A and B are shown apart, each in its own frame.
Chain A
């Protein structure tokens, strides 16, 4: 039994020690420059290298350069939703206040990156496949992910009592996580117009290293950028909730009267 009371209690303690809002503000302030600057630097290097200096593909020509934006965006779309699902679990089981605040902030960032993934994919599909959009399993499951993000964004803000919104959105985040393995394995389980993964855990990447390096840099940079934006937004949200608590405290109301 992995979920013995001690495991649950220990996990809860761990998160309360390292991720309580006060501790998070301190940690976040120190972490922020280490996320933001490497993110900008790596993204610019990766994209510059990919867009201007990496070789063109033997059959796709220069259109292949859309990959340096599309693939990191696709990875982050899934990773962001996995983050939402983890926040949902922490919120439902441990009632962790920071998880709720983070879930509110991850939603719009994740939805934007998913929209970027869909848009760049469409721009890539037209010249290569000959179509902007097809209803194959990969494309459709990513579109479902985009709608899940939109649903989460709407649901978490839909209630006057934020706690109810947090709870409903956490359930949606966990239920929607079912889509993540479907996205990942769609190109293996069914035949699709979208090609299978080039980078796998088991085999050698079927991509020239002269293209893999700029892709790796750009993915790392955009990943750090995603983290930087989420951390900045969550810090702002924690501070906002503190200010709100201060403004509505009885002492202040007493002073105003």
Chain B
């Protein structure tokens, strides 16, 4: 074994040990590394009411109620992960991307009634990017309703050009 070979094995061993150590640390702390808890987690074991938690999930279609209390807008909506839903109350201006079916992260506390009082609401957008015309065409064709979840599989739309989409929307009779 030459000195170079020995050094190579030494480096490999050190990096492997370090990688294992990092993996174990991250595994041990993974419950703290996650950015938000889900509604079913909150329902299963409600955190103490003085602890600030981040609640993440999808805004349930048809659950959004906006009103004004004096100058401040007040919003109430349900957030779901598909298994449980939590009602969120929020006083303040919602982010532009907030809509029904959007993923959001609400920061606040859980009340004894299992309702959630948010001090801040962040919008989480998904990893799909498409022009407005393509989104309209998918909606018109009945393939997708953004209020109820993510768009259909990417290869069905990612090659559609804006011109195609305009043509599709023009020829298709309006379904809604």
Taking beta carbons and an 8 Å cutoff, which residues of A are in contact with B?
Answer: 3-5, 8-9, 12, 55-60, 64, 67, 89, 92-94, 127-131, 134-137, 174-175, 177-178, 182, 189-193, 195-198, 203-212
List chain B residues, Cβ under 8 A from A209.
158-159, 161
Other A-B pairs beyond A4-B5, A193-B122, A206-B126, 17, CB < 8 Å: A5-B2, A9-B2, A12-B4, A55-B131, A58-B130, A59-B97, A60-B129, A92-B11, A94-B4, A178-B22, A190-B30, A190-B34, A191-B35, A193-B105, A195-B126, A203-B154, A210-B162
How many angstroms from the CA of A135 to the CA of B107 in the assembled complex? 13
Q: Is the interface of A mostly helix, strand, loop or mixed?
A: loop
List chain B residues, Cβ under 8 A from A4.
5
For residue A70, give the distance in angstroms from its CB to the closest CB of chain B.
12
Q: Number of contact residues on B: which range applies?
A: 35 or more
Partner of B30, one of A55, A178, A189, A198: A189
Instruction: Judge whether A8 and B2 touch: CB under 8 Å.
Output: yes
Taking beta carbons and an 8 Å cutoff, which residues of B are in contact with A?
Answer: 1-2, 4-5, 7-9, 11-12, 14-15, 18-19, 22, 26, 30, 33-36, 38, 56, 95-97, 99, 105, 120-136, 146, 151, 153-155, 157-162
List chain B residues, Cβ under 8 A from A12.
4
Instruction: Judge whether B35 and A192 touch: CB under 8 Å.
Output: yes
How many angstroms from the CA of A212 to the CA of B8 in the assembled complex? 40
List chain A residues, Cβ under 8 A from B159.
209
List chain B residues, Cβ under 8 A from A205.
154, 158
Instruction: Judge whether A207 and B129 touch: CB under 8 Å.
Output: yes
How many angstroms from the CA of A135 to the CA of B11 in the assembled complex? 32
For residue B65, give the distance in angstroms from its CB to the closest CB of chain A.
20
How many angstroms from the CA of A128 to the CA of B127 in the assembled complex? 13
List chain B residues, Cβ under 8 A from A94.
4
